Structures are given as structure tokens and as C-alpha cells.
Amino acid sequence: MSRLGNLGARLYRGDVGYDFIGKRKIWYGVSILITITAVLALAVQGLNMGIEFKGGAVFTTPKTTASVEQAKEAAEESSGHPAIVQKLGNGSLRIQISEVDTAKADAIREDLSKDLSVPTEKIGAELVGPSWGAQIANKAWTGLGVFMILVVIYLAIAFEWRMAVAALVALIHDITITVGIYALVGFEVTPGTVIGLLTILGYSLYDTVVVFDSLKESSKDITKQTRWTYSEIANRSINGTLVRSINTTVVALLPVAGLLFIGGGFLGAGMLNDISLSLFVGLAAGAYSSIFIATPLVADLKERDPQMKALKKRVLARRAADAAKAEQGEQGPMADAEPEAAAAGSGIAGQRRQADGRGRGRGGRASGKRR
């Protein structure tokens, strides 16, 4: 068995473990700090919305020798708006300009034809109205709301309402962090980004449900024992599924990292950034929230239950009694050693007194020659 597998088996058995629940205030503080940073980024910088949401035009040229910088300069000079230019795999260019209407799009097309030395009829133009983008945004918000409602209902039925609330908080945490990262780095938000967000919600729930299922199984008939509190059982559930969560997260992050850093970075396929960044950040945030947010929050909510409070008192009382017995057991041998030492001392003294009588004969007479 590998070292990681051996560690996973020891974590599952409870031979070793990290106190995630005991240090939950630290994780709460870190999460709050990250969330505040994400909200500030959204408030200050905002999101770089694509033309699918705010309207604009997309021009596609045939294979050309013009550079990306040359096409960007020509498009911005002609339109008066910032342009996003991407080099496609076949040598063509994709030029995206926001806030452009039909009349202006025709003029821009003519200017691009002259500046890039490309026939006008071979430059494709696609217009996107802002109303269509608004419809996409509304549908995305509606789908997100329906998704979260269904998640809460399902978790409340399959587990309990406390776990449903904790999972909902973890989902909001993951979405906020992911959207905040988009605001910080300035990546464009497209329908692919929305698809990526919906995908990470499912993955985040997967990690959370795995821990919740282990916790539900471990906490059956919990009030009939006095060995563990609910928080301690929750901590054992996290440790028992920790290696599995790490393995699944790493395996999922590797191909997404390839899309983001190799496809979008080295190869210049900027369209991959739309979905890969949301997946990369969301997968990492989902794994984090399932361990450091969702389960500790369930333990906090559960420990407020009167039965769990009574259980905690019984567990602490039993541990205090066991500690007292252990202390008495250590003092017992020391207390018994004192009489034994006293007896040994008296025995030595008796032997000395007996030695004084060795010279006496039978009848108590002193030994010696007869007179």
C-alpha cells in the first residue's frame, strides 16, 4: 500500500487526524476575509461582461498575415470602443467590439477590409443585441435560484435541515469567490462562464454530500454512547474522507489547469478562459468549503440541540471520571509501597533481635561450658 493509501486508512480508522472542527473559527475568519475581498473587487472593478450580455458585433476574417495588435488597433480606431482580438487556429482573426449597432458595424467592416487587406465580402459579421444578453442573464439567475431551492429541499429530506443550510452557505461562498476572481483578473464573462459556474455547483455539492453521508452514518444512535461528542464525530468524518476529497479534486483540477494555462495561456485560445477559470477556481473553492465551511457549520448548528448539549455533558463527565480513576490508579501502588517498606524495616529489626538470642540453649539458658 502506498504512503497516501496508508495515511487514508489511518485517517479512516481514526488512528491519526487533524482537528478541523476545533479550529473552525480560523477557517471562518479566512473565508470571511476572502469573501470580503471578492465583494470589494466586484464593487470597485465590476465584471467584464461579454457582448452576449451587453450587445455588440463579432467580426471573423479569413486567413490573414495581419497580427493581433494590428487588427486590434484598426478595430478600436474605427469603432471608438475597446476591441478583443483572438488568433484562431486556422490563421483567421476573431474581432469582438461591444456597443455596436448595424449601421456602425457595416462601416467597421469596410475599415477592417482596408486596414487588413482582406476582401469585405469575406469578413463575417455577427451582431448581438443587448436585449438578448439580458434574457441570457435572467435565465441564468432563474436557473441558479431553482437549482439552489432544489438542493436545499433534497438535502433536507435526505439528511436534515442543518446540513441543507450548511450546503447552501458553502455554495454561496463558492460562487462569490469565483465571481470575485473574475472581477480581479478581468476575464470576460460569457455564457461559457455561466455554464462553468453551474458545473462547479454540482461538484461542490458532491464533495459536501460525501462528508455528510459519512457523518450521518457515524452519528447513528449517537445519544446512546458517551465516548464522542457530535463535533468529534464530525471531525472524524472529515478526516475519514479527506484523502478521497484530495484525490478527486486533484484529478479534476489537472485537465482544467491544462485548459486554462496551456490552452488559454500558451496556445492563445482565449475562448477557453471563459469556462476554464470558473471551473478551476470553483473546484478548488468547492473542495475547501466542504471541509472547512460546510461540516464545521453543521457541527455548530447541531451542538445547539438540547440532546447534543446533554450528550456533551455526559461525555465530559465520563472523561473526568476516567481521569480520576487513572490518577487513583497511579497513586495506589505508591501508597501500598509504604506499608511494605515499613514491614521490611521491622523484619530487619526482628532479625537483629533474633540474632541476640542465638547464643541461648534449650530452655532459655545461655550457651557455654558447664560448671
What are the residues whose beta carbons fall under 8 Å from the beta carbon of 220, sequence distance 6 or more? none
Task: Please determine, for residue 352, whether its predicted confidence score (pLDDT) is greater than 90.
Answer: no
The confidence score (pLDDT) of residue 36 equals 94
- In total, the chain counts a number of residues equal to 371
At residue 196 the predicted structure's pLDDT band, cuts being 50, 70 and 90, is: confident
Name the nearest CA neighbour of 123 among 57, 77, 220, 187. 57
Give the C-alpha separation, 305 to 309, whole Å. 6
| Selected residue with higher pLDDT from 34 and 188 | 34
Distance, in Å, from the CA atom of 311 to the CA atom of 167, rounded to the nearest integer, reads 25
Strand partners, 188: 48
Domains 3-49+132-313 and 56-128 belong to one CATH topology: no
Pick the CATH number of 3-49+132-313 from 1.20.1640.10, 1.10.1280.10, 3.40.50.300, 1.10.10.10: 1.20.1640.10
User: Which pairs count as long-range contacts for 246-249, CB under 8 Å and 24+ apart, including other chains?
Assistant: 246/287, 248/206, 248/207, 249/207, 249/283, 249/284, 249/286, 249/287
Res. 13: pLDDT tops 70: no
Residue 8 has a pLDDT of 53
Residue 91 region, left (φ>0) first, then alpha (ψ -120 to 50), else beta?
A: left
Q: What is the rounded CA–CA span in Å between residue 271 and residue 207?
A: 28
DSSP notation for 49-63: E-HHHH-EEEEE--S
From the CA atom positions of the chain, what is the Rg in Å? 37
Sorted by where each begins, the domain ranges of the chain are 3-49+132-313, 56-128
Q: Please count the other Cβ atoms lying within 10 Å of the Cβ belonging to residue 345.
A: 10
For the question of whether the overall pTM of this predicted structure is more than 0.85, the answer is no
User: Which band of pLDDT confidence, cut at 50, 70 and 90, is reported for residue 342?
Assistant: very low
Q: What is the CATH number of domain 56-128?
A: 3.30.70.3400
Nearest to 281 by CA among 180, 365, 369: 180
For residue 33, what pLDDT band results from cuts at 50, 70 and 90? very high
Are 124 and 60 in contact by the 8 Å Cβ rule? The answer is yes
* The Cα angle at residue 187 between residues 184 and 193, in degrees rounded to 5: 115
